[in-house]
Amino acid sequence: MTEELNPFEIAQRQLDEAAEFLGLEPGMHAFLREPMRELHVTLPVRMDDGSLQVFKGFRVQYNDARGPAKGGLRFHPNETIDTVRALAAWMTWKTAVVDIPLGGGKGGVVCNPKEMSQRELERLSRAYIRQVGRIIGPKSDVPAPDVYTNPQIMAWMMDEYSALQGHSEPGVITGKPLALGGSAGRMDATARGGMYCLREAGKVLGMDLKGATAAIQGYGNAGYYAQLLGEELLGLNVVCVSDSQGGIFCEDGLECQDVKGHKDETGTCVGLPDMETLSNEELLELDVDVLVPAALENVITAENAGRVKAKIVVELANGPTTPEADEILRKNGVYVIPDFLANAGGVVVSYFEGVQNAYNYYWDLEQVYEGLDSKMTAAFHAVHQMAQAKKVHNRLAAYLVAVVRVAGAVKLRGWV
Ligand code: GLU
């Protein structure tokens, strides 16, 4: 039998396991298995050469019982509605596990931003908001950056939404540039939250992380900052990183600013002088202490999970491990910090950004770090204690914490 790789079916399967464990009432279970709302849009965009290209886009509001839908927006050639549904479901559990008053949503546009000019990206971003603008807003659904989207794209989108409203509305989107109402500390928040979780994992496992070796798959925002902060906060020795072109390895550790400089210059970390090169598959199987998948979903599968040698996996990507792979890692004693806990730092600081926009009063970096640390540490230990108390693995424990909170809000509202 071939392994199921449809992310939404995987997300539903994970929920099913939690629902069964909790003895969730069947009506509630059926409701939580589906997105509450989704909008499919068609976006005609004038390209720089004068031609017209038509793009497909989506916004899924999975569940907003605990507060406005919240979640990123991806620009990716392989985007599908089922990927967006899965990511929106995971956002629902993510905001619940870190206990912030938000629901879960996600958006996506099928496009290849690497082949588009800045002006084309701006027109696409504005076209997306002209369609999706009717269902988003600070009180209903707040997008943010994700794979291949960035603060500049958030700025265009906020501006387009503001133009539709007739006044500036910074709270419609998070991950904005600082000059337009962004939050201090949002750029590295996803990786920082993951490193706080790893620090706590080191404590409960009695493992000294100083000098521990690490490999990071993916060198976008999360991957780059994971290297920087893994070294700075925990003293990790990052020996291998990769991007879509492949990976680089250096036994003595990679110099973060060299890798970043090379990537900024050439578009890839591959080719940094004097480094061994290896494939993304080889990176996952390296003999390191900590493995950080920080790219896309379904990279640790039934096929390669048995060869993962890391002691701890910190899932900074959404959905990097398939259910079959999960079971193999568990059997082999690998400690997994599951995605919607490990990568929740981004949405926590997005929440802080929304709060600052609403108050029109802005925090300093220290306040953001302190707030993020306390949210992530509390969430980590809530999951850890659940795992200990119920004798279940971390992912199921994270689901148990999150699903109880979301189901509780749904019940109180009287929806089910
Ligand atoms: N895209 C990020 C995530 O998957 C952040 C979402 C947000 O800030 O709303 O968690």
pLDDT of 337 reads: 98
Both tokens of 312, joined, read: 């701890």
The pLDDT tens digits for 320-340 are 999 999 999 999 999 999 999
pLDDT of 335 reads: 98
Same domain, 212 and 137: no
d(CA 193, CA 198): 9
Distance 327 CA to ligand 1 centre (A): 26
Split into its structural domains, the chain has a count of: 2
Local confidence band at 146 (pLDDT 50, 70, 90 cut-offs) = very high
Question: The domain containing residue 242 runs over which residues?
Answer: 189-337
Same domain, 162 and 225: no
Residue ending a domain, choose from 337, 352, 373: 337
Same domain, 116 and 194: no
Distance 214 CA to ligand 1 centre (A): 24
| Residue 268 burial by Cβ neighbours in a 10 Å radius (0-12, 13-18, 19+) | middle
Locate all alpha helices (DSSP H) within 98-241, ordered by sequence: 118-132, 151-165, 189-205, 221-234
Distance 51 CA to ligand 1 centre (A): 33
Does residue 78 fall inside a structural domain?
yes
Which uninterrupted H or E stretch holds 409? helix 394-413
Residue ending a domain, choose from 284, 317, 337: 337
Distance 95 CA to ligand 1 centre (A): 10
pLDDT of 141 reads: 98
CATH of residue 109: 3.40.50.10860
Assess whether pLDDT exceeds 80 at residue 190. Answer: yes
**In which residue are the tokens 């707040």 written?**
142
Best residue among 350, 352, 357 to mutate for probing ligand 1's pocket (most ligand atoms within 8 Å of CB) is 350
Span between the terminal Cα atoms of the chain, in Å: 36
Residue ending a domain, choose from 145, 172, 199: 172
Which residues does residue 45 pair with via DSSP β-bridges, in sequence order? 53
In percent, the amount of the chain with pLDDT more than 90 equals 99
Best residue among 146, 157, 225, 296 to mutate for probing ligand 1's pocket (most ligand atoms within 8 Å of CB) is 146
pLDDT of 4 reads: 78
Task: Count CB-CB contacts under 10 A for residue 264.
Answer: 9
Residues 6+ apart with CB under 8 A from 282: 247
Assess whether pLDDT exceeds 60 at residue 384. Answer: yes
Backbone angles phi, psi at 415, to 5 degrees: -75, -30
Assess whether pLDDT exceeds 60 at residue 1. Answer: no
What residue owns the CA closest to ligand 1's atom 4?
A: 72
pLDDT of 38 reads: 98
Same domain, 108 and 197: no
| Residue 360 burial by Cβ neighbours in a 10 Å radius (0-12, 13-18, 19+) | exposed
**Residue 182 DSSP code:** P
What residue owns the CA closest to ligand 1's atom 8?
A: 347
**What type of residue is 386?**
M
Backbone angles phi, psi at 262, to 5 degrees: -65, -40
pLDDT of 288 reads: 98
Same domain, 92 and 50: yes
Residues 6+ apart with CB under 8 A from 115: none
Atom of ligand 1 nearest to the CA of 90: 4
Catalytic residue among 70, 94, 106, 176: 106
Backbone angles phi, psi at 369, to 5 degrees: -60, -45
pLDDT of 77 reads: 97
Task: Count CB-CB contacts under 10 A for residue 317.
Answer: 26
Distance 42 CA to ligand 1 centre (A): 24
pLDDT of 93 reads: 98
Confirm whether pTM is higher than 0.85: yes
Picking from 333, 247, 238, the residue whose alpha carbon sits closest to that of residue 292 is: 238
Same domain, 303 and 331: yes
Which uninterrupted H or E stretch holds 304? none
Same domain, 103 and 232: no
What residue owns the CA closest to ligand 1's atom 9?
A: 71
Which residues does residue 52 pair with via DSSP β-bridges, in sequence order? 46
Backbone angles phi, psi at 70, to 5 degrees: -145, 135
The pLDDT tens digits for 48-84 are 999 999 999 999 999 999 999 999 999 999 999 999 9
pLDDT of 2 reads: 75
Best residue among 153, 187, 190, 197 to mutate for probing ligand 1's pocket (most ligand atoms within 8 Å of CB) is 190
Atom of ligand 1 nearest to the CA of 350: 8
Atom of ligand 1 nearest to the CA of 94: 10
Same domain, 311 and 205: yes
Distance 349 CA to ligand 1 centre (A): 9
Picking from 36, 41, 83, the residue whose alpha carbon sits closest to that of residue 63 is: 36
d(CA 318, CA 326): 14
Locate all alpha helices (DSSP H) within 244-319, ordered by sequence: 256-266, 280-284
Residue 210 a catalytic site member: no
Both tokens of 385, joined, read: 């204690």
Atom of ligand 1 nearest to the CA of 174: 8
Same domain, 296 and 195: yes
Assess whether pLDDT exceeds 80 at residue 193. Answer: yes
Tell me which residues have their CB closer than 6 angstroms to ligand 1: 70-72, 94, 144, 146, 174, 318, 343, 346-347, 350
Atom of ligand 1 nearest to the CA of 70: 9
Buried b (16+ CB within 10 A) or exposed e, 367-378: ebbebbbebbbe
Distance 277 CA to ligand 1 centre (A): 31
Both tokens of 244, joined, read: 């879509």
The pLDDT tens digits for 242-297 are 999 999 999 999 999 999 999 999 999 999 999 999 999 999 999 999 999 999 99
